[in-house]
Amino acid sequence: MHRTHDPEFWSGRRVLVTGHTGFKGSWLTCWLRDLGAEVYGVSLPPEAGETPLWDRLALEGVHDVRDDVAGTGWLTGAAAFEPEVVLHLAAQSLVSEGYRDPAGTFGTNVMGTVRVLELVESLPGVRAALVVTTDKVYDVRQPTPFVEDDFLGGKDPYSASKAAAELVTQSWPGLSDRVVTARAGNVIGGGDFALNRIVPDIVRAWSTGQTLVLRRPLAVRPWQHVIEPLLGYLLYTEDVARGRDVPRSLNFGPDPAQAVPVQALVEHAATQWGGLRGADTPVRWEVEPDPVMEETHDLTLAAGQAQRVLTWGNVWGWQDAIDRSLEWYVRAVDGEDPHSLVLAQIRAYTSAVDAPAP
């Protein structure tokens, strides 16, 4: 039996969310508003041509601030909001963009974390702060699945910048009782429109009859629906705010047996896409012969600590995560309200968490 979040904890709570307009941030902010939290969000303005989920959700009652989290301009307004909880998701989150702009990646991911910690340090009313990093913070010379005590590292700018954010957080004096970090595996779900992520790439290609290009079809990843780590973040934050003795870092990912190669994910998605769009809908993919980006082949996490300490665990397997994701895109394209689709999937998930074991 897994544990779900405490709605009373979040109702009326003042929550600062950095990166609130990103993929995970949009799902999280939608969830927090549904719980009655007051949200102050800080994110960069969208670039030209982007179609972020945030705009489609059209959430009301959010303090929507557009600024660079690595700068200082947003700090005064955020301090005046007097947050009780800080959830730091703002990041440059793409491996490919890290190669293209390493300086910007380090600036956002390291200095952005520094600014958040400066803010938390100045506000004794912050009861809990969660810094979200990634499963890619671990030194890949170690065996997998990675556990929280493994050495940190990074062979590319994105991974190294997130490992550095972990080190910044762990070394900041005087915050060990209020600030923790969360390392989540690969998340998928409706409303992600980023480039070089497998599910958005699938939807873009197959919606237009194009051929999907796979960089590394045999690469193994811990796929999970976006709701799963978000629930972990809520539980982790609740426990920190209540003064529970919890680890300073936790992994959030599926059981290693749920980690499968990209090829298996695509094959399952092809079957589901045919069911959603008709068996005669063309679904094609090919392998990029010489991928430029260097990526870890086998990346899996051990989330046993989160399971034991938080009574958290995956409810939807990777096939369910794919099915729910593709269903979201198809229903949104067919005219259903994205906000309602997000809330419906959150409620379906939390109902499954609450359901007694058979």
In this structure, what CATH number is given to the domain that contains residue 137?
3.40.50.720
1 lies in some domain = no
Residue 127 placed within a domain: yes
Whether residue 7 is predicted with pLDDT greater than 60 in this model: the reply is yes
Token code pair at residue 135: 């499963």
pLDDT recorded at residue 108: 96
> How does pLDDT run across 308-336, given as a tens digit for each residue?
999 999 899 999 999 999 999 999 999 99
Rounded to whole angstroms, the Cα distance separating 298 from 296 reads 6
Distances (CA, A) of 160 to 216, 269, 286, 292, 328: 21, 31, 30, 18, 33
Residue 2 lies in a domain: no
Residue 183 lies in a domain: yes
Residue 237 lies inside a defined structural domain of this protein: yes
- How open is the CA angle 129-115-130, to the nearest 5 degrees? 15
**Is residue 350 situated within a structural domain?**
yes
pLDDT, average across residues 160-188: 95
| Band of residue 356 on the pLDDT scale cut at 50, 70, 90 | low
> Residue 256 sits in which domain range?
7-354
The pTM for the full model equals 0.94
Asked if 54 contacts 21 with a C-beta cutoff of 8 angstroms, the reply is yes
Residue 91, in any domain of the structure: yes
Give how many domains the chain has, as a whole number: 1
What confidence score (pLDDT) does residue 122 get? 97
| pLDDT tens digits along 253-281 | 988 777 788 999 999 999 999 899 887 88
Is 262 part of any domain? yes
